[in-house]
Structure 1
Amino acid sequence: MIILRLTCALAAAGALMTTSAAQAPRSPWPAGDEIGMANTLGPATWQRCATYLADPKAKSYELSHLRSNTMPQSPFGVPLRDRYRPTVGIAGTRHAFNGEETVSGEAGAQGTQMDAIGHFAVLPEAWDGKGEFPADKARYYGGYAQADVKPTAESPLQKLGIEKVPPIITTAVLLDAKSHLGRGSAMQPGQAVTAADIEAMLKAQALDKRGLMPGDVLYIYTGWGDNWKDPDTEKFYYTKGPGLAYDAARYIAEKQVVLLALDNPFTDPVAEGFLQGKAPPPAGAPEGLPFAIHHTNLAESGIYQIQNANLGAMAQDKVWLSCTIILPLRAQGNSGSPVRPVAVGVPAQ
């Protein structure tokens, strides 16, 4: 999850200094919609799932990383820290029990996590980083104003929060960009998966006739997730990474993909030095919108996102099609959530 502090840092570094006309959030669904592309889910996607669930050769895959105090953690969210309590009991009984508590951390911004549509908004022009941030001018998916979504600085999201997400039970397509674009190596920092790349991978994986269907989840294995190490002693994973190209975000919106997940920290491509203001925004990004994939998916198209997906095992087994089930926590008014996506599919013979 890329939160406001990152945007402020980039503004101060000059990455957002140019002025651009805001791209108005739009929605193909009726006025008042809060679930975006989740409108494509229902009996049709459940029926597509049934084939994979019923196959006797199917295998289940965990698509999240283990959460721990020593896992890689985003520098733009409060580090997650759990404290483990001693075993205790109840006087007069034979019971003993254990527990733990979260003592700090932004749970929805660490580990494998999912963005709510209300995580991102857009301003009518680029903020110069001076003075108070003009939050009152922000516009969200579906044209919601700041007063509709987050009326005060302390309020939870009144619209577009993570609790609005219905259970995502649908078919998933996995594209192996590590093999196709990296030739067996992880994609490079700042490298982007384009719309043409998606079509080429669909063809290479014999999925071109099927293509992407409304309500599909799209998983893209870049190989960057191979850098996820726990304990995170190198502090490398969150410094940069490959991502999706702007034209690809438009492409998956046209296909009505419900959710996009990559094995990377930012969804957007982040080149070496970009987070420090020493590299330009990704090629093709609209002026003033360096995190154009977040903007397009969340503020315009209503496509959900998962960061830090664990896709290596499924890619190794060449499970290009599967049934996936994704359930974020129903945390009222939150802009994101820890998530445990799973998939059921048949390994290649």
Structure 2
Amino acid sequence: MRSPTDNGPAVSRQEFDALFEQVRTWGRWAPADRGAWNRVGADHVRRAAALVRSGTVVPLGRPWDTAAGPDNRRPALHYMSDLGDAETSGPSGPSEPSTHKDFVGADFHGKGITHLDALSHVAYRGRLYGGGAARELVGSGGARFGGVGALGPLVTRGVLLDLPAVQGVAWLEPGQAVHAGDIAAAEEALGVEIGEGDAVLLRTGRFRRRRELGPWDADAACAGFHVHAVPLLAGRGIALLGGDGDSDVRPSPVEGVHSPVHTLAVAAMGVPLLDNADVEELAAACAGTDRYDFLLSVAPLNVPGGTGSPVNPVAVL
């Protein structure tokens, strides 16, 4: 029986490199910088649309977080750039209508903002997905390969793996790893099976724990997938991986690799990651309908050369 905070067996760098080669999909698709999103075609969209029954719409994006904290070291910015007091006046007085304008900005990679990681976000041994040298393809002006602008929107079948519900707990403790056996047990208990082109979302209960116990440094300890679970996900042919953490269990079980699931998903498999999605409302909706698949829409900002984008994904049941 694993301890609630057991992050799983240690993995050597040699074993990790073998896993990387096992799940690698370089050269499989064109355009290459859309990676596994090339799996999702019109048939996938139609099948996802057929899952819409009640019409319940569930947003998954966290509120824009402008407060510093242990899990938000680089707070987002939001300030007003116009309060309606700078309108041009005409011969008859102030021009109407007055308007109010604001500025928003974020260094969004981290634990504070719901965001998508594009394929240019992660390199392993100096190589991006597909094998290109990161130093040659990513510079101060952005990425020339694997930018978020190349991805476009994703509409596909989403699958929620609600591990706390399956295990009969309120949340997984920080540091608890999710293994391939846990995924299989969740599929059986929840009556859902991960398929080709799916978006897989993991609920660890992070945001319920955060609301009840307060924030903590999720870079130091958080629940997530162990690297030994990745071959199962790769074998199912997923298009997107994400959830209420950043998919990685922390501390990392891999010697010298701080984000091994990021590395395998993005740099080896070409699977973008959806980080920090608040799936608590979605979990309640799935439990209420006793089904754990739904239409999922993820539309990143069209930022040419960007390594990712803030997003507000939407699940429709």
Check if 1:42 corresponds to 2:41: yes
Counterpart of 2:235 in structure 1: which amino acid? E
**2:233 paired residue number:** 252
**1:187 paired residue number:** 172
| Pick aligned residue for 1:141 from 121, 126, 129 | 129
SS, match of residue 250 in structure 2: coil
| Pick aligned residue for 2:117 from 115, 123, 142 | 115
RMSD: 2.6
Aligned CA distance change for structure 1 residues 344 and 72 (closer, same or farther; 3 Å): farther
**1:3 paired residue number:** none
Deviation string 1:81-102 (CA, Å, 9 cap, x unpaired) is 2112423333121211111123
SS, match of residue 141 in structure 1: coil
2:69 and 2:43 map into 1 onto residues whose CA distance is 38
Check if 1:204 corresponds to 2:189: yes
**2:84 paired residue number:** 87
Aligned CA distance change for structure 1 residues 97 and 190 (closer, same or farther; 3 Å): same
Deviation at 1:292, TM superposition (A): 0.9
Deviation at 1:247, TM superposition (A): 1.7
| Pick aligned residue for 1:270 from 223, 246, 250 | 250
> Structure 2 stretches of 5 or more lacking a match?
1-12
Deviation at 1:166, TM superposition (A): 2.6
**2:262 paired residue number:** 294
1:64 and 1:32 map into 2 onto residues whose CA distance is 28
| Pick aligned residue for 2:156 from 156, 170, 173 | 170
1:81 and 1:48 map into 2 onto residues whose CA distance is 39
Aligned length: 290
Deviation at 1:72, TM superposition (A): 5.6
2:262 and 2:108 map into 1 onto residues whose CA distance is 19
Return structure 1 stretches of 4+ with deviation > 6 angstroms: 18-21
| Pick aligned residue for 1:157 from 143, 147, 153 | 143
Deviation at 1:75, TM superposition (A): 5.0
Deviation at 1:142, TM superposition (A): 0.8
Deviation at 1:147, TM superposition (A): 4.5
Counterpart of 1:200 in structure 2: which amino acid? A
Counterpart of 1:304 in structure 2: which amino acid? P
SS, match of residue 202 in structure 2: strand
Counterpart of 1:258 in structure 2: which amino acid? A
> Structure 1 stretches of 5 or more lacking a match?
1-17, 124-137, 272-280
2:15 and 2:271 map into 1 onto residues whose CA distance is 23
1:47 and 1:296 map into 2 onto residues whose CA distance is 29
Deviation at 1:44, TM superposition (A): 1.2
SS, match of residue 111 in structure 1: coil
**2:301 paired residue number:** 329
Aligned CA distance change for structure 1 residues 342 and 228 (closer, same or farther; 3 Å): farther
